[in-house]
Amino acid sequence: MSGPAWGDGTRSVRAGELPAVPGAPLRPSPVFAAPFHLADQPPRAGGADAYARTEQPTLRNFEAAVGELDRGRCLSFATGMAALTAVVMACAGAGDRVLLPADGYYTTRLLAAEELSRFGVEVGYVATLDIERVAAEGGLDGVRLVLLETPSNPQLDVCDIAAVARAARASGAVVAVDNTTATPLGQRPLGLGAHLTVASDTKALTGHSDLLLGHVSTADDELFARLQSWRNHSGSTPGPFEAWLGHRSMSTLDLRLARQGANAAEVAEVLAASPAVRGVRWPWRPEDPSFALASRQMLRPNGVVSAELVDEAAVGRFLAASRLWTAATSFGGVHSTVDRRAQWGGDAVAPGFVRFSCGIEDTDDLVADLSAALDALS
């Protein structure tokens, strides 16, 4: 169910909703089943569910909701990496050339280097800030799939999805956008010309740091069918409880993003004013190099800020002095977290580079705690 003029809060709650049934819960309870009673011959001829790896009602409701926010048809996956794997495996094969972001989520590069290469997929890497120029200079000729990640994780660079999509469509390449950081409320890649939008829903979409999920949405029926086959054959389907929790969690996406964005605006300023910090990045800060493009392309801010402390020891001292900034990887959750990215070995960042993920704590509390912890560094 959806109304064309509904705002983000309404759509977060109502997307994918079924017509009301008197006496039934407002949101259907999860249906826990692997096989279902079979009746139809051949199986599923009458539309009844048969086996939950391919389809099940709780997943359908969740996918309808996410697809409505993305403005496409959604397929949900067990993790974000399962969704990204599906994109590459469904769109490219032996001998195909794929372009990935050189500065995006590092496990995507590991997937390429350690798995795709074994299947004969040729992989090239382009930095987020360079892809528009490469596309304009004909660098997408002969490319089967180009994956963008904007804003990129963790350095928060932004590229022009519409410009790359125009060039890609002219040269016959499929464009997928990793939309994890922005979320479907913060950016709609399908409306900007991308064929696929893909995300880790482990992050802000579900936002409570207690779920692993991912999804791909598309408005292209042929790509949808290929992705669905991949998921059915590879078995990377989420279970009903995850799907139900994901659907329940996304009801508050608008509220959580609003608080996270408001917190990030303050946090970015406090970081920028501190002598212990340099290189603050938040695409919605007017001083940020991504500001102009982010304001044009994106729909709203989010809670991820990156910055550099002096070194690894400074990050340790910061964490020891803070009560509200918790050391944890991942981002987009209700807790405010700090991740020193160099510890994972996958990103080309300095030892003191940190990704701050602003949670939904009170802004005053978060800023007071941040200021006190930064003061402990001087």
Q: Which residues bind ligand PLP (CB under 6 A)?
A: 79-81, 84, 105, 149, 153, 178, 180, 200, 202, 212, 214, 330
Using an 8 Å Cβ cutoff, are 182 and 332 in contact? no
CA distances from 324 to 130, 160, 328, 369 (A): 37, 35, 12, 6
Show which residues are catalytic: 53, 105, 178, 203
Smallest separation, CB 105 to ligand PLP (Å): 4
Using alpha carbons, select from 110, 138, 105 the residue that is nearest to residue 123: 110
Element (H, E) at 75: strand 73-77
b/e sequence 104-125, b meaning 16+ C-beta within 10 Å:
bbbebbebbeeebeeeebbbee
Would you say 79 or 183 has its CB closer to ligand PLP? 79
Instruction: Give the Cα separation of 147 and 271 in Å (integer).
Output: 31
Q: Residue 99: beta bridge partners?
A: 124, 146
In the complex with ligand PLP, the residue whose CB is nearer, 80 or 189, is 80
Least spacing, CB of residue 329 vs ligand PLP, in Å: 7
Q: How far is the CB of 361 from ligand PLP (least distance, A)?
A: 22
Task: Give the nearer residue to ligand PLP in terms of CB position, either 178 or 361.
Answer: 178
Q: Which two tokens stand for residue 104?
A: 């995006």
Closer to ligand PLP by Cβ: residue 216 or 374: 216
Q: How far is the CB of 110 from ligand PLP (least distance, A)?
A: 11
Question: Nearest CA to 309 among 210, 226, 258, 378?
Answer: 378
Nearer to ligand PLP, 202 or 306 (CB): 202
- Shortest distance in whole angstroms from residue 180 CB to ligand PLP: 4
152 versus 322: smaller Cβ distance to ligand PLP: 152
User: Phi and psi (nearest 5°) for 197?
Assistant: -120, 130
- What is the H or E stretch that residue 9 is in? helix 8-14
Q: How far is CA 370 from the centre of its chain?
A: 26
> Minimal distance in Å, beta carbon 183 to ligand PLP?
11
Largest CA distance in the chain: 74
3-state helix, strand, coil in the chain (%, to 5): 40, 15, 45
The candidate with the shortest Cα–Cα distance to 59, out of 30, 88, 20, 18, is 30
Residue nearest ligand PLP by beta-carbon distance: 80
